[in-house]
Each structure stands twice: as C-alpha cells, then as structure tokens.
C-alpha cells in the first residue's frame, strides 16, 4: 500500500461519526446525514492542494492582496447508487462544480462491476474530477469508473477518489491500476469477508442510504 497517495482522514469528529454510521441501528435518515457530514471532512482534505492565485480586493477600508482558487473547474462524479449520498457534502464546499454520473452495480456472485449509465458534463476532460463512492471494497467499481472517465479523455492525474470506508484490497487494487490517483478515505478497515463485504464495514451502503434493505 502506497501511503503517499492514501489519505486517511482521522479527525476525531470523523471517527465519532464513523462509529455512529457503522451502528446497524442507524436508520436511513441518520445514515444519510452522517454520510453527508463525513463527506465534508473528506472533501476538505481532498481539496487541500487546489491552486491559488493572487487577486486584489477592495475592502471597505483599503485595498489588499488575497488568494483565490484558480485552475481547473471541478466535477463531482458519484458512482450510483451509493455515491449519490456524497454529492451534497462536496457541493457544499464547491457549489459551482458540475456533476457527472456513472451507474454501476456489483454482481453479487462474481463481485464484478457492471456499468449501466454514464453521463458527464461535456467538458469533463478539462476538469479536476472527484469520483465519490462511500465503499472501496475490491476496487473493481472504482477501477471501472476511472477507465470509463479515461475513455472520455480525463487523465488519471486529474482524478481523485473519495470514499468513506475502504478495504486494504480495494486500496491496493486501485493504486496498482492507477498509481497517480490519490485516495481519500474516512476509515481504512481490516479486510473483506467471503462475500466481498468490508469488515467491520457498515453493510450495504446503497441499501442503508436508500432504505432498500
């Protein structure tokens, strides 16, 4: 595992919220709120290196030099369904970002991901792309999502992957496939079980978010 491109957000507030999120008794409303709140912290770290430029601002008192974000515009790309739960959190930090969607489901037997939807902003290859999905398990869905974006002209260096809970297998698989992609996660868990679920994890994120258990 390459620690240079893996960012585990272990802020005390994040650890507290992750504990609440893992609790099997948390209902959909609480689960959605917690995913949203944790995403704000993850996105805060993932946007730490956005480039700045100096600008001149006139305050009511004087003129001063300040820094504002420059460079590529942003796009948030949730992997459906569960990724949708992270969109609002990241947009609360960057309201002007455009949103592209990738629909993907994991075959429960083979654990292979299957793409069923792909709709991006027309200038996606010119944007800094934040792919969001709460769960990075085997890494299959994340890798297929990156492949689909690269087919549309997005460079791996312009992609960051944001999740809530990750497994070592998924981190290693994504890093092996795309070493330049930085991964931001609120928790790095122990392992996958025989059904491909993250342990201790939080169960099926999509079902818990949308109440389809």
Task: List interacting residues with ligand URA (CB under 6 A).
Answer: 82, 135, 137, 196-198, 201, 204-206
Contact call for residues 55 and 68 (beta carbons, < 8 A): yes
Map the footprint of ligand PRP across residues 66-105, applying CB under 6 A: 79-82, 104-105
CB of 183 to ligand URA, least distance (A): 16
Sign of the Cα pseudo-torsion (35, 119, 151, 196, in order): positive
Q: CB-hemisphere CA count at 13 Å for 95?
A: 1
Q: Which of 210, 195, 213, 197 lies closest to 165, judged by CA? A: 197
CB of 122 to ligand PRP, least distance (A): 25
Contact call for residues 75 and 121 (beta carbons, < 8 A): yes
Q: Which of 161, 165, 158 lies closest to 124, judged by CA? A: 158
d(CA 177, CA 166): 16
Contact call for residues 150 and 173 (beta carbons, < 8 A): no
The residue (of 121 and 203) whose beta carbon lies closer to ligand PRP is 203
Instruction: Assess 106 for contact with ligand PRP (CB under 6 A).
Output: yes
Residue ranges at the known binding site for uracil: 198, 203-205
The residue (of 73 and 80) whose beta carbon lies closer to ligand PRP is 80
Among 120, 196, 202, 208, the residue binding ligand PRP under the rule CB under 6 A is 196
The residue (of 24 and 65) whose beta carbon lies closer to ligand PRP is 24
* CA gyration radius, the chain: 18
CB of 89 to ligand URA, least distance (A): 17
CA-to-CA dists, residue 60 to 55, 57, 64, 65, 68, angstroms: 16, 10, 11, 14, 19
Among 39, 47, 138, 175, the residue binding ligand PRP under the rule CB under 6 A is 138
Residue span 164-193 as binding mask against ligand PRP, x where in contact by CB under 6 A, dash where not: ------x-----------------------
The residue (of 84 and 205) whose beta carbon lies closer to ligand URA is 205
198 binds, among ligand PRP, ligand URA, none (CB under 5 to 8 A by kind): ligand URA
Instruction: Assess 139 for contact with ligand PRP (CB under 6 A).
Output: yes
d(CA 33, CA 50): 26
Binding site for ligand PRP (CB under 6 A): 79-82, 104-106, 111, 113, 133-142, 170, 196, 204-206
């Amino acid at each position: 595992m390459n620690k240079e491109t893996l960012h585990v957000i272990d802020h005390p507030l994040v650890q507290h919220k992750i504990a609440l999120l893992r609790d099997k008794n948390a209902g959909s409303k609480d689960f959605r709120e917690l995913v949203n709140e944790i995403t704000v912290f993850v996105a805060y770290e993932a946007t730490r290196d956005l480039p700045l430029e100096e600008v001149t601002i006139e305050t009511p008192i004087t003129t001063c030099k300040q820094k504002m974000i420059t460079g590529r515009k942003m796009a948030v790309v949730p992997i459906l369904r569960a990724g949708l739960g992270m969109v609002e959190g990241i947009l609360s930090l960057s309201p002007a970002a455009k949103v592209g969607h990738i629909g993907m489901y994991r075959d429960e037997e083979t654990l292979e991901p299957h793409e069923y939807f792909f709709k991006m902003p027309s200038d996606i290859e010119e944007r800094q792309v934040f792919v969001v999905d709460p769960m990075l398990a085997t890494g299959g869905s994340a890798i297929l999502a990156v492949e689909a974006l690269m087919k549309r002209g997005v460079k791996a260096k312009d992609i960051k992957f944001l999740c809530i809970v990750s497994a070592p297998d998924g981190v290693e698989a994504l890093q092996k496939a795309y070493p330049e992609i930085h991964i931001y996660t609120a928790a790095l868990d122990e392992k996958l079980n025989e059904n491909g679920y993250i342990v201790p994890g939080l169960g099926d994120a999509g079902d818990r978010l949308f109440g389809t258990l």
